[in-house]
Structure 1
Amino acid sequence: MPFWQWIVDLIVVLLILVVVCGCALVIRRRMISRNGGTFELSIRARSAQIGRGWVLGLGRYSGEQLQWFRIFSLAPGPRRSWHRSELSYSGRRQPADSEQMALYADHVIVMVATPDGRIEMAMNSASLMGFQSWLESAPPGADWTRRRPQL
Structure 2
Amino acid sequence: MELSGALIVLGLLLLLLAVVLAMFWSRQTTLSRRVGSFSCGLRPDTSSDRPWTTGIAHYTSSRLVWWRVLSLSPRPAAAWSRDELTLVERVPLGEVDERGRQMLLVRCVHGSDAFQVLMSAPACAGLVSWLESGPRPVGRVI
What TM-score do you get using the length of structure 1 for normalisation?
A: 0.71
- The structure-2 alpha-carbon separation of the partners of 1:45 and 1:74, relative to structure 1 and needing over 3 Å to count, comes to farther
Q: What is the rounded CA distance, in whole Å, between the counterparts of 2:37 and 2:80 in structure 1?
A: 15
Q: What is the rounded CA distance, in whole Å, between the counterparts of 1:61 and 1:48 in structure 2?
A: 26
Summarize deviations over 1:73-97 as a string: whole Å, max 9, x none.
Answer: 111121111111211111133569x
Instruction: Say yes or no: does 1:127 pair with 2:126.
Output: no
> What residue identity is the alignment partner of 1:71?
V
Summarize deviations over 1:20-75 as a string: whole Å, max 9, x none.
Answer: 1111012223443564111112211585461x232111111110210111112111
Residues paired across the two proteins, number: 134
- The structure-2 alpha-carbon separation of the partners of 1:139 and 1:47, relative to structure 1 and needing over 3 Å to count, comes to closer
| More strand, by proportion | 2
Q: What is the rounded CA distance, in whole Å, between the counterparts of 2:136 and 2:85 in structure 1?
A: 15
Fraction of identical pairs, as percent: 27
Q: What is the rounded CA distance, in whole Å, between the counterparts of 1:54 and 1:95 in structure 2?
A: 15
Q: What is the rounded CA distance, in whole Å, between the counterparts of 1:85 and 1:46 in structure 2?
A: 20
Could you tell me which runs of 5 or more consecutive residues in structure 1 were left unpaired when the two chains were aligned: 143-151
Runs ≥4 residues deviating over 6 A: none
Could you tell me which runs of 5 or more consecutive residues in structure 2 were left unpaired when the two chains were aligned: none
